[in-house]
């Protein structure tokens, strides 16, 4: 099977297990996009959006030729995976972490290459992202439990 050039190709590699679950590495065009992330699909969508990449993406095993999941980058960037004590895993609205909390938890970092300059969130004001965000405005993580 030949990959569709219009779909962003991401490879996801399982690394190890931390106290909060498995950690993953995400590769884009052979380069590390994310290292030690907890939610590879949604975190990769936010990283791609920050780089100005929109459209469809597909995830593959490292070296794989069959896509595991396909998704819309802009829609996936607004979501996160939550695994609660009584229900889960489910997807929920994502909100950016406070800067001090992200640093304290060692949140996954986007691999930055000298050519990339990552803008602040939200990276773009696309109509699709704004419509999706408006539809999710009422939803909170607490509503899911």
User: Are residues 35 and 109 in contact, defined by beta-carbon separation less than 8 angstroms?
Assistant: yes
Residue 112 φ then ψ, to 5°: -105, 130
Expressed in percent and rounded to 5, the helix, strand and coil fractions of the chain are 25, 30, 45
Query: What integer pLDDT is reported at residue 141 of this predicted model?
Result: 44
Q: How far apart are CA 94 and CA 9, in angstroms?
A: 23
pLDDT at 71 over 80: yes
Total number of domains constituting the chain? 1
Question: Is residue 50 assigned to a domain?
Answer: yes
Range of the domain at 85: 8-144
Query: What integer pLDDT is reported at residue 103 of this predicted model?
Result: 54
Question: Is residue 2 assigned to a domain?
Answer: no
For the residues 123-135, what does the mean pLDDT come to?
Answer: 58
Lowest-pLDDT range of 24-33, 49-58, 86-95, 129-138? 129-138
What is the DSSP code (8-state) at residue 37?
A: E
pLDDT at 68 over 90: yes
Lowest-pLDDT range of 14-28, 29-43, 61-75, 111-125? 111-125
Question: Is residue 29 assigned to a domain?
Answer: yes
Question: Is residue 1 assigned to a domain?
Answer: no
For the residues 64-88, what does the mean pLDDT come to?
Answer: 89
Question: Is residue 139 assigned to a domain?
Answer: yes
For the residues 19-43, what does the mean pLDDT come to?
Answer: 90
37 burial (CB, 10 Å; 0-12 / 13-18 / 19+) is: buried
Residue 9 φ then ψ, to 5°: -100, 120
Question: Is residue 3 assigned to a domain?
Answer: no
């Amino acid at each position: 099977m030949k990959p569709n050039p219009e779909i962003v190709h991401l490879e996801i590699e399982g690394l190890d297990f931390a106290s909060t679950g498995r950690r993953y590495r995400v590769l884009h065009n052979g380069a590390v996009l994310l290292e030690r992330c907890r939610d590879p699909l949604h975190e990769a969508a936010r990283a791609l959006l920050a780089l100005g990449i929109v459209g469809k993406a597909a995830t593959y095993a490292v070296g794989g030729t069959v896509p595991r999941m396909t998704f819309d980058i802009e829609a996936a960037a607004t979501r996160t995976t939550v695994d609660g004590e009584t229900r889960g895993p489910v997807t929920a609205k994502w909100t950016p972490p406070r800067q001090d909390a992200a640093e304290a938890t060692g949140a996954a970092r986007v691999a930055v290459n000298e050519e990339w300059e990552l803008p602040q969130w939200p990276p773009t004001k696309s109509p699709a992202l704004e419509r999706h965000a408006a539809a999710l405005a009422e939803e909170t993580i607490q509503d899911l439990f």
